A and B are shown apart, each in its own frame.
Chain A
Amino acid sequence: MDSDIKRDIIMEHYSHPKNRHRNETDEYLKVNTNNSSCIDNLDIYIKINNGVIEDISFDGEACAISISSTSIMITNLIGKKIEEALDYINNFEAMVNEEDYNGELLNEAIVYSDIYKQNNRKNCALLPYKGIKKALEDYINTKNSKN
């Protein structure tokens, strides 16, 4: 993908992020995610029904890379089963960390394929993934311990 197109996609998601609002209700799991080395700080809200992610929203303060990355992640994850979601998340992390990954699974999130070149921004792109991965794993663990 051409770098100008990548830039446009990132800026579009930054300027008009998907579902940037809070959902402080019992229906939603809430997770906070932040980077200790900078000031990015986001709350992510996830609604799961029958093992499927029905909705995600977020709010907080963060840089353009974090906000756009969260928006793109949300767009990709809504409607996915938890296992599929984790697969997507692991793939994204692999891309950012310069490991083998399947680009087809990532859709628009492929715009961060060059982010490794800016070491100080890798954590920005990964920020929402760190939060949602923890929330999904906690969800699975809680469910397993109940069964």
Chain B
Amino acid sequence: MHREDFPMLNNDIIYFDNGATSFKPQVVIDKIKEYYETYSANAHRGDYDISFKVDLEYEAAREKVVNFINAKEKSEVVFTSGTTDSLNMIVNGFFAPIMEKGDEIVITRSEHASNVLPWFRLAKEKGCVIKYIPLDDDYHVTMDNLKKVITPNTKVISLAAITNVIGDVRPIKEITKFAHEHNIFVVVDGAQSVAHMKTDVQDLDIDFLAFSAHKMLGPTGVGVLYGKKELLEALEPTNLGGGMNEAFDNEYSVILKDLPTRLEAGTPNIAGVIGLGAAIDYLNSIGMDKIRDRELELREYLIEKLIKIPHIDIINVEADSGIVSFNVDGVFSQDVAYYLNKYNICVRAGNHCAKILKNAIGVTNSIRVSLYFYNTENEIDSLIELLKDKEKIEEEMI
């Protein structure tokens, strides 16, 4: 649905790599273009009209994010360069100063590298311990398994709301309820979820949330760090510089600005932030529930057809998202991706930045189809036709 809004879809390609990045609707492209063509000034320098307009648009985008995720106020929404940046700020700015030797960090083996490596470094530097929630037979997180790894030393649980290979939807609300009863913080990696389902940070009672604009129809290079205000107040800025300080003098004394500006050192990605605002307007105009329903409809259609092909092994038959990972029996995933590319079908092959997942599922590489609402049943049919014929795959994969 709404395919006519996306200029990229006029390029005769079938795009199934929405987990990596999404296409941009014309309204987002226009909004960015408008900034560069008509009021291309810096932010927070409102001495002249066009700069004043930048501030208005920039802060309007922040307001849109606040409403989109139902944050309490603008001071809880910080613009970053993306999910990775947000997660690193959370780990290095908030947790590094408070973590002590023996403290435990709970993650899973299906997390993306961005929600693993910052914790690894912190654990190494502080003598903390990483604990993995055991995944069930479908590679999902259950409350029972979560409780198994919680100890009095657990300080933080950091999980993707939807994982990028398995596509499972985590029970975030239950997790935060349990965690907060035990004085444990919850960090949510929303890279794969915020664009695909309604995220209400107050209802879910999330402490920190990280997500990227480019996976939700917005531009690359911009993302969001959400944190409850009292927690963000304690987050040490990892970047210091222009725009975030109120005053400083020769005696090394620095007074920082209030939230959220304090955490946005340097000239921000103004065009990106304004573009994200337009993307949110666009998503709202369709409705997140509608988007989610459509994706699940497409997923069901794909699984139903894929499961009938004997030489296809689906890794995540059970998952409530648009992510479907599979392998063609005896054919290296990258060869399948190259084969599909010959027919202008874009899928992802590899380990999808989840390199410790292979220890959990015993499969190193896979092909991933990640759907979005603008995909169609016809596109899925084309994919299925090409995958059905194993001889053709082997014939044409090189």
Residues of A within 8 A of B (CB): 7, 10-11, 14, 38-40, 61-65, 68, 118, 120-121
Contacts and interface: CB of A to CB of B under 8 A. Distances in A.
Contacts of A62: 332
B365 interface: yes
A61 B331 CA distance: 11
A39 B333 contact: yes
Name B's interface SS: mixed
B334 A38 contact: yes
B349 A11 contact: no
Interface string B351-373: 10000000000001100000000
B364 to A, nearest CB: 6
Query: Which of A11, A38, A39 has the most B CB atoms < 10 Å from its CB?
Result: A39
Nearest to A6: B398
Given A39-B351, A63-B332, A65-B398, A121 B338 contact: yes
- Chain A interface, >50% SS class: helix
Given A39-B349, A62-B332, A63-B332, 18 more contacts: A7-B398, A10-B398, A11-B398, A38-B349, A38-B350, A39-B334, A39-B364, A40-B334, A61-B364, A63-B338, A64-B335, A64-B397, A64-B398, A68-B398, A118-B338, A120-B338, A120-B341, A121-B338
B124 to A, nearest CB: 24
A76 B320 CA distance: 51
Contacts of A39: 333-334, 349-351, 364-365
A65 B332 CA distance: 11
Size band of the interface chain B makes with A: 10 to 19
A61 B338 contact: no
A55 to B, nearest CB: 26
A63 B398 CA distance: 9
B176 to A, nearest CB: 35
A10 B338 CA distance: 16
Contacts of B332: 61-64
Contacts of A40: 334
13 contacts: A7-B398, A10-B398, A38-B334, A39-B334, A39-B350, A39-B364, A61-B365, A62-B332, A64-B332, A64-B335, A118-B338, A120-B341, A121-B338
What 10 A-B pairs are tightest by C-beta distance, nearest first? A63-B334, A39-B350, A63-B335, A63-B332, A64-B398, A64-B335, A39-B365, A10-B398, A38-B334, A65-B398
Interface in B377-398: 394, 397-398
B10 to A, nearest CB: 23
Nearest to B352: A39
Contacts of A11: 394, 398
Contacts of A14: 398
A46 to B, nearest CB: 24
Contacts of A61: 332, 364-365
Contacts of B335: 63-64
A76 B51 CA distance: 66
A65 B396 CA distance: 12
Interface string B316-344: 00000000000000001111001001000
Interface in B42-86: none
A11 B335 CA distance: 12
A134 B93 CA distance: 41
Interface string B194-228: 00000000000000000000000000000000000
A68 B365 CA distance: 19
Nearest to A61: B364
Contacts of A68: 398
A64 B338 CA distance: 11
A39 B348 CA distance: 11
Contacts of A64: 332, 335, 397-398
Contacts of A10: 398
Contacts of B341: 120
